[in-house]
């Protein structure tokens, strides 16, 4: 049980701060509480700010779902969202960066998104399938990232389409939470579970949500493909892709260089294969021409 708990802690640390985890394992000289050497403290000013953001998000959800005061609820939600940078700034400036804070920061981002989604769904302003898709995709990617720790400690690099997905979804949900502005539907298909595509009026935000869902699907497919590629590479090596056979962390530069070399080798092989195909086609044409002349 203890070993499993330690492995889980290592996996989480690698997800939120791989370089810091390596530095601590190797005995860093950086002052405790800096980004390179997070502390294990719980009660810090930055962590208290993050907890206040959690509370504000919970208050928003309660007020929004129970229709107590939509715009006051949204005010709490906005405060929780725009103070995203504050806890990190305070932690760095007061040298109180902690592992708990590094873990809570990305969790808080997802909590903000999920509470907005749940609030809209519970009020009937967002189809259930959209809420399930958004939350399910994040759960799928989180589970995949934890499984991938067996083959690579360093998290998979973020892709731009994933950033677009987040931007579209947050913009769309913000408009939906406001309930403004209303626009004409596209008149394509009248189905209640596809708002905005029928003739009825719909909130502008729903179209941003559609774009975000599409980008989210692409993101999930790309990450899945990369995950299988990392697994294959690790099985070929016989150890994690970002570690030596002895289990020592490989520098990020070496990992990047290996990835670039692998990509270059694959590209070179593709070029050789294409050249061989063209050569075979030319040979076939020559043989055909000779046969024609002989006839």
**Bond into 181 cis (ω within 30):** yes
DSSP symbol at 203: E
Q: Are 139 and 169 in contact (CB under 8 A)?
A: no
Q: Across-strand partners of 203?
A: 182
Take residue 203 and report the two structure tokens written for it: 């909130």
Mean pLDDT rounded to a whole number for the chain: 79
pLDDT for res 284: 59
Which strand (E) or helix (H) includes residue 59?
Answer: helix 45-65
From the list 106, 124, 152, 140, the residue with the least C-alpha distance to 14 is 152
From the list 199, 195, 61, the residue with the least C-alpha distance to 123 is 61
pTM over 0.85: no
pLDDT for res 266: 43
Instruction: For the chain, list residues with pLDDT below 50.
Output: 253-267, 269-271
Alpha helices in 66-149 (DSSP H): 70-82, 84-93, 99-122, 128-148
Matching residue, tokens 């530069």: 253
Find all residues with CB under 8 Å of 121, minimum gap 6, and list them. 127, 128, 130, 131
How far apart (Å, rounded) are the C-alpha atoms in residues 143 and 146?
Answer: 5
Burial status of residue 62 (CB atoms within 10 A of its CB: 0-12, 13-18, 19 or more): middle
How far apart (Å, rounded) are the C-alpha atoms in residues 191 and 187?
Answer: 10
pLDDT for res 292: 54
How far apart (Å, rounded) are the C-alpha atoms in residues 7 and 29?
Answer: 24
pLDDT for res 66: 92
DSSP symbol at 182: E
């Amino acid at each position: 049980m203890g070993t499993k708990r330690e492995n889980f802690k290592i996996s989480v640390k690698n997800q939120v701060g791989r370089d810091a985890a390596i530095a601590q394992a190797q005995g860093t000289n950086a002052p405790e509480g800096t980004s390179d050497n997070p502390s294990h403290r719980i009660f810090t000013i930055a962590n208290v700010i993050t907890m206040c953001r959690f509370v504000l998000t919970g208050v928003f959800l309660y007020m929004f779902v129970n229709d107590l005061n939509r715009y006051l609820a949204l005010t709490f939600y906005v405060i929780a969202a725009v103070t995203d940078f504050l806890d990190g700034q305070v932690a760095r400036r007061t040298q109180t960066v902690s592992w708990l804070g590094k873990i809570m920061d990305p969790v808080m981002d997802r909590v903000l998104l999920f509470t907005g989604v749940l609030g809209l769904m519970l009020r009937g302003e967002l189809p259930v399938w959209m809420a399930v898709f958004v939350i399910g995709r994040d759960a799928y990617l989180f589970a995949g990232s934890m499984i991938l720790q067996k083959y690579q400690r360093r998290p998979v690099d973020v892709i731009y389409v994933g950033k677009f997905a987040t931007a579209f979804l947050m913009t769309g949900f913000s408009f939906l939470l406001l309930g403004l502005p209303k626009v004409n539907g596209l008149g394509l298909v009248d189905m209640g579970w596809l708002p905005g595509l029928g003739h009825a009026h719909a909130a502008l935000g729903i179209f941003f949500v559609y774009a975000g869902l599409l980008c989210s699907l692409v993101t999930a497919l790309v990450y899945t493909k990369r995950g299988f590629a990392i697994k294959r590479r690790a099985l070929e090596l016989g150890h994690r892709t970002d570690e030596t056979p002895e289990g020592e962390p490989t520098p990020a530069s070496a990992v990047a260089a290996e990835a670039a070399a692998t990509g270059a080798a694959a590209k070179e092989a593709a070029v050789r294969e294409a050249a061989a195909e063209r050569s075979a086609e030319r040979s076939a044409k020559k043989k055909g021409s000779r046969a024609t002349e002989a006839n």
